[in-house]
Structure 1
């Protein structure tokens, strides 16, 4: 269910229209929904990287990654320790980081 949440629509309008919004929400949902017995943060980060790579959004024009391993680890830990009422802010911060690094 965490993966399918990024495909939600209201009528013909996607709730998460951009790749960055989908990626941020994917990372958030897998991290916070505890879909797995163990390894939720690692799996969330791997799914995030796979999603970004499949959508040709992982690399900048110069060939470097849009987010390095340390930043992704810190962001995933930040999401994991965030409070449910902070979800919107946390997702928006993630989107902002991705857009800043293009």
Structure 2
């Protein structure tokens, strides 16, 4: 390699170091949840979520079945992210709550139509309401293509992969990235 090619390679590695680090830790089953946001400004409620879904339905619904609950599993998904054990949050950070919200809404398939769109929307809405969706400079913390990839990755994952899926998402949206 000549000097110019070497410099380009080094720049490329620098630009994608975080992503490559997450992939390396994933491969070696070493992903941990770190650099997360402890403060919670917004606790998602069923009524607030349904109101947000109604707004989503008006813009992206498409069918009369969009957002129609099939059972009470959506309420269960919301309750699950706020669970405590021994007085401690089971999912203590905003990022962990958001990643679990995305996972539960997709996997519980609570709605007749729109589960992935609803889950993705609630995920970013929850992060926004907790003031961490955008960086300090106003740029998106999660690009559109990343949101699609997260959503489809979870939809295609196996139930036994849940914890790893959550760790991947948290590592890609935490304060380190």
* Residue matched to 1:17: 92
Residue number in structure 1 paired with 2:56: none
Root-mean-square deviation over aligned CA pairs: 0.8
**Residue 141 of structure 2 corresponds to residue 66 of structure 1:** yes
Larger Rg: 2
Relative to the length of structure 2, the TM-score reads: 0.56
Equivalent positions of 1:22-61 (< 5 A) are 22-61=97-136
Deviation, structure 1 residue 68? 1.0
Structure 1: 5+ residue stretches without partners = none
How many residue pairs match? The answer is 101
Structure 1 match to 2:40: none
> What SS class does the counterpart of residue 3 from structure 1 fall into?
helix
**3-state SS of paired residue (2:121):** helix
- Unaligned segments of structure 2, at least 5 residues: 1-75
Q: Distance in 2 between matches of 1:49 and 1:75?
A: 12
| Alpha-carbon separation, structure 2, partners of 1:97 and 1:37 | 30
Q: Give the C-alpha shift of residue 45 in structure 1.
A: 0.5
- Counterpart of 2:157? 82
Corresponding position of 2:166 = 91
Deviation per CA, 1:22-77, whole angstroms, max 9, x where unpaired?
Answer: 00000000011101011100000010111001000101111111101111011100
